[in-house]
Amino acid sequence: MTDDLSDALWGAQLDHLTFICPDPAQMADFYGSVLGLAAQQTEGQSFLLSGPGRRIVIRPGEQFDQTGSAFRFETAAALERYRAALTAGGLNLKPHGSPFLADGFAVADPDGRDIQFGITDPDIMLPVPADTTPPGRLQHVVVATTDLGQMIRFYEQTLGFRPSDYVVDETADERPVTAAFYRSDPEHHSFAVFRADSTRPDHHAYEVECWNDIRDWADRLAERDIQIWWGPGRHGVGNNLFFMIEDPWGYKIELSAELETVPAETEVRTWAHGPRALNLWGNAWMRS
């Protein structure tokens, strides 16, 4: 990772995610009801879902997957600075393909997911959700991989994400990293990746304003007969309050509050691999 590259990326925030699913309409109904998103069907069976601070693209596919993550820059100048930094490093860029972005580009990460960068399209017209929900801004996305070293090199050295924390297996002689948390602005992580026995989506998170919002989201979910899958708790890494639910495809959705902020100049820190890195209050969801 070079300073020029990471400085050019700094300030980018997660804007939306892309999923594929055998039944996009069913997924749109679930996410619309649970997260209070308005759905708009586009060409074919694709859907755009939008709500306050959170947007999702759903497209048809043979099996469920989270296939893309889009990061937005606030200005065209910031986007162009980052584009220039990537091309100077020899990275091949491709069209972004996102209905939510105006100008921008995409790259494929080592596990085949599209990582999109751009500025939001000011002309896109989306429906307004009729449902009122507690605050919940799309804040981070997490994946699992069988080749963590390759993903670490790509996100740090090729894209310029700044590592906030590594989780390290201190019981092994080589002290391998088992999870890496990355930031593109002062929030502790906008992206993270875990070592696992398969390459797969892990979860994404919505950041709320306070502990009471966590309560209000839990009450909203209870009204829809959706139980908490993990939590409530407090992560060690990131220090945020959280709970997670599971969607019908087994994918996890997190509600989070009080995520740590980390200045750009802060060096990467380490946590010992174990339950406390993932939950200071109780049981942990261990990926490896």
> Which strands form 65-72's sheet, in the order they lie side by side?
38-41, 47-51, 54-60, 13-21, 65-72, 114-120, 101-108
pLDDT value at 2 more than 80: no
The whole-number pLDDT of residue 43 equals 83
- Give the CATH architecture of domain 137-278: Roll (3.10)
Q: How far, rounded to the nearest angstrom, does the alpha carbon of residue 221 sit from its chain's CA centroid? A: 21
- Looking at domain 3-120, its CATH class is alpha beta
pLDDT confidence of residue 171: 87
55 close to 138: Cβ distance less than 8 angstroms: yes
Task: Specify whether the CB–CB gap between 19 and 58 falls below 8 A.
Answer: yes
Tokens of 178: 């088992």
Which class for 103: exposed (0-12), middle (13-18), buried (19 or more C-beta within 10 A)? middle
Band the pLDDT of 1: cuts 50, 70, 90. low
* Ranges in the chain annotated CATH 3.10.180.10: 3-120, 137-278
Stated length of the chain? 288
pLDDT digits (tens, 9 = 90+) for 97-136: 999 999 999 999 999 999 999 999 877 777 777 678 899 9
* Model confidence pLDDT, tens digit, residues 229-275: 999 999 999 999 999 999 999 999 999 999 999 999 999 999 999 99
Query: Tell me: the pLDDT tens digits for 144-170?
Result: 999 999 999 999 999 999 999 999 999
Provide the pLDDT for residue 3.
82
